[in-house]
Amino acid sequence: LCVRIEKNPGLGFSISGGISGQGNPFKPSDMGIFVTRVQHDGPAASALQPGDKILQANGHSFLHMEHETAVSLLKSFQRTVDLVVLRDSSMR
C-alpha cells in the first residue's frame, strides 16, 4: 500500500518496533517499524492505521532499522512523505 502524507507540521502518527526498539505490540517476533497511534485529525488520519508496517519512506528502506533511526529519518523529511506500508487484513 502506497500513501502520501503532507506534514502539517508533523506527520500525525507514532511508531514502535525496530531493531533494539521497545518491541512491537502487534507482532512481538517482528523487528519491523509499526504504526502504533494515528492522530484522528492529523495528516495521516485517512492514510494509516495502527498495525501498519512501514516498509519504506521516501525511498529509504525501513527493514532492519533501529527505532531511533526511523524516528530521525521521518522527522528529517521536509514536507511530503511517501510511504510504502504493509497492512495486515486481520488487524481490522
CATH code where residue 21 lies = 2.30.42.10
- pLDDT value at position 22? 66
Structural domain count, the chain = 1
pLDDT by residue (tens digit) across 13-40?
Answer: 999 999 876 667 778 888 999 999 999 9
pTM for the structure as a whole: 0.91
- For residue 41, what are the domain limits? 2-91
Contact 35, 13 (CB under 8 A): yes
- Report how far residue 87's alpha carbon sits from residue 92's, in angstroms, rounded to the nearest whole number: 9
Q: What is the pLDDT averaged over residues 55-72?
A: 96
